[in-house]
A and B are shown apart, each in its own frame.
Chain A
Amino acid sequence: ELKVEQNPLFLSMQEGKNYTIYCNYSTTSDRLYWYRQDPGKSLESLFVLLSNGAVKQEGRLMASLDTKARLSTLHITAAVHDLSATYFCAVDIQGAQKLVFGQGTRLTINP
């Protein structure tokens, strides 16, 4: 059974700081997704990582995938308040579109 674990689950940080959210998964997969969810809203796709060593960047967010370590990271650079949200990683089992989600990381960025 595939398990996906994120850490930390809660993260409070100050504007301007850097931090990383980790996503570990237990079974081989080469397709990983990152989503963002604002309070009371649905999930918005951020990144799709499709191969080992994949790196994607959008603004202050950068995601990477290491399939050998079964680890993905979401790095936040010089955080701003607008990035406050809950971030989820999800792993695709064998390309079948059956996503298994992590618990989510609630990120709060304080001025």
Chain B
Amino acid sequence: DVKVTQSSRYLVKRTGEKVFLECVQDMDHENMFWYRQDPGLGLRLIYFSYDVKMKEKGDIPEGYSVSREKKERFSLILESASTNQTSMYLCASSSWTSGRSTQYFGPGTRLTVL
């Protein structure tokens, strides 16, 4: 079974803090993704990566950055957290070698910025 883990289930930070959200997958997937989920808006793609050291902007990259130094790990960074970044953050991974290219999701991190 594919397993995608995220470093924290719940996180509370203060405005202006630098925040790191970590995601690790154990299936040697090439592709990794960060989404945020807000009520009524579904999931929105923040950043994604097709390979180590590669990153691509998604639909809402402003205020975020990412790092992918190892294939299994994809980090989301909030350089200076703001209250409008309070949200549920979901990481996902997938592989091109699977014809279906299903994305497998982690359990999510609920981030509150005070």
Contact = CB atoms under 8 A, between A and B. Distances in A.
Interface of A: 4, 9, 31, 33, 35, 41-45, 48, 50, 88, 90, 92, 95, 97-104
Contacts, number: 55
B61 interface: no
A31 B40 contact: no
Interface of B: 31, 33, 35, 40-45, 48, 50, 58-59, 90, 92, 94, 99-108
Nearest to A88: B42
30 contacts: A9-B40, A31-B101, A33-B102, A33-B103, A35-B105, A41-B107, A42-B107, A42-B108, A43-B43, A43-B105, A45-B103, A45-B104, A48-B100, A88-B43, A90-B43, A92-B101, A97-B31, A97-B33, A97-B50, A97-B101, A97-B103, A98-B58, A99-B33, A99-B45, A99-B103, A100-B59, A101-B42, A101-B43, A101-B44, A102-B42
Contacts of A102: 42
Contacts of B103: 33, 45, 97, 99
A42 B105 contact: yes
B38 to A, nearest CB: 10
A35 B104 CA distance: 10
Give 4 nearest A-B pairs by CB, closest first.
Answer: A101-B42, A101-B43, A43-B105, A48-B100
